[in-house]
Structure formats: structure tokens, C-alpha cells
Amino acid sequence: MDATTSLRAFSAFFSKSALRRTTRDAIGLIVLSLLVAIALADFGPLPSWLAPGLAIGGLAVAVMCAIRLQLLEFAPEIIAGDVIVPRPSRAGRDVKLLLPLQFVNAGSVDGVIEWVALRLTIDGNIERSVLLSPVAEVDMQRFIQAKRRLDETAIEPFTAFPLEGKRALSKFVLFDLAEKKAAPGLSLKPGRYSFELFVKSTANRSPKLERVFHHAVEPKHVEEYAADAPVYLINYEINLPAARREMVGAEWMPRNARYSN
């Protein structure tokens, strides 16, 4: 099953659940309105305000259904969980993190993804958590051609982008420390890495925590990175794992990649 089929099945499951709940609530409100009208009829002629009142109630039900089914909103979601540590360009260079991200708009209204951010915590030490910001968007075709080393021809600035209703968009986003002057450079060392992915969009006034995932960095990963090899931390607990290979035309993950989960 390819990524498109998986995405459709994933969306259909929740769409059917929302449709069932919305249908149940709408029928309940209609029955309640009819019971009220029948009760009022027992007391004599129906009041003049009943017809416009029922019309307003019907409009409210229609609006509720549209909102419940996400027909009137921008509802962005992010599928994430894998982390790539690209090959260092020179000895001692600070570590940067490359994340394959799939942005999905579950709503029917277009919107804009303004920015994303990543908070990294190692071994549960919250006091030493660091914030990483998106510094570039990576062209994976050129990244692979450059033997998985960051090259000026493979990166371009990360900027806000539109996301149409009921559409999905994949990007490989490079993250680096947001405040290098206030924190030492990021280095790769063994431990339990916790990632919190935040997104700011036109759907929310403040940043929203979208995903939390974890990886175990082993001594072998550190040795591979020191030997000028990229490190792949693959998490198969994320939804729609088949989407990984559909994100780009070329295969971005080596066949012998080690999984961290």
C-alpha cells in the first residue's frame, strides 16, 4: 500500500467517525426541535416566532456540521518521527538535524504554515533542553547526489508556505540551534533523545505542539558520524510509514540503515 492510499485510509477513518457523530447530533437536535413544536401546539396556535426560530436553529445545525466536518477551517497536521544527521562538512562541525516532514491539511480551507520549531531534550534533562529553528529546506535529490553531505546547491532558505485544503505536502527541513551564542554547539553523543515539534500557522495564534517522538542514540551512531557517515534515526511508531519513500523521487534512506526503535 503506497503513501497516497495510506493517507486516504487514515483520513477516511476519522472522517467517518466525525460524520457519524455529526449525523447523530444533528438528528438529535432536529428531533428535539420537533418535540418542542409539538409541545407548543398543545397550548394553542403556534407563536409567530416559531418559524424563524426553527430556521435559525436549522442554520445553527448546518454551521455545526460544517465546523465538525472541518469544512470551514484550516486544520494542519504534521507527520514526523525520523531524524537524519547529515555528514559533517569538516571535522568538529556542529551537528544539524534534518527532518522529513509531511504537512497535511485535514480541513477544506487553505492556510499558511508560518514556521516550525524543534525542542530537543537529552536523557530527560529539561534544564538543558535546546530549541532548534528551521534554517533551510533541503533538496533530497541533490543531497543524495552530494553523498548525503550538505551542499550549497542542495539547500535553500526555509520560508512560510501555503497549504491547500485536503492536500498534503512533504518537505525535508534542516534544523540548527536557534541561539548559538547562548548555548554551546550541538554535538552527537549517546543517550535518549526526545523531540518536540511545534508549528505556527494561520490556524493558531500561538505555536502548537504537534508531535513528540524519541530516539536512542547509540555509541555506534557516534562512531559512524565521527567516521564521516550520515546517521539515520528511524521511528516506525509514526503514522503512515509508507509515506517516507514517497516524499521524494529517489530513495533517501540506505537499505542498511539502523533503526533506533
What range defines the domain where residue 18 resides? 3-68
The amino acid at residue 155 is: I
Mean pLDDT, rounded, for 44-73: 62
Residues 158, 192, single domain; the answer is yes
Q: Could you tell me the CA-to-CA distances from 124 to 121, 135, 142, 211 in Å, in that order?
A: 6, 25, 36, 17
* 11 assigned to some structural domain: yes
Residue 114 falls inside a structural domain: yes
Mean pLDDT value across residues 81-98: 80
The CATH number of residue 179's host domain is: 2.60.40.1890
Helices assigned H by DSSP within 110-168: 140-145
pLDDT score at 23:
67
Residue 137 in any domain: the answer is yes
Look at residue 190 and give its three-state secondary structure: coil
25/139 same-domain check: no
For residues 158 and 33, state if they share a domain.
no
* Angle, vertex CA 20, rays to CA 19 and CA 26, nearest 5: 85
What is the per-residue pLDDT for 259? Answer: 43
pLDDT in the model for residue 236: 73
Total tally of structural domains belonging to the chain: 2
Residues 157, 216, single domain; the answer is yes
pTM of the model: 0.69
219 found inside a domain: yes
Q: Domain check: are 17 and 83 in the same one? A: no
Do 31 and 91 belong to one domain? no
pLDDT tier at 142 (50, 70, 90 boundaries)? confident
Residue 87 DSSP class? B
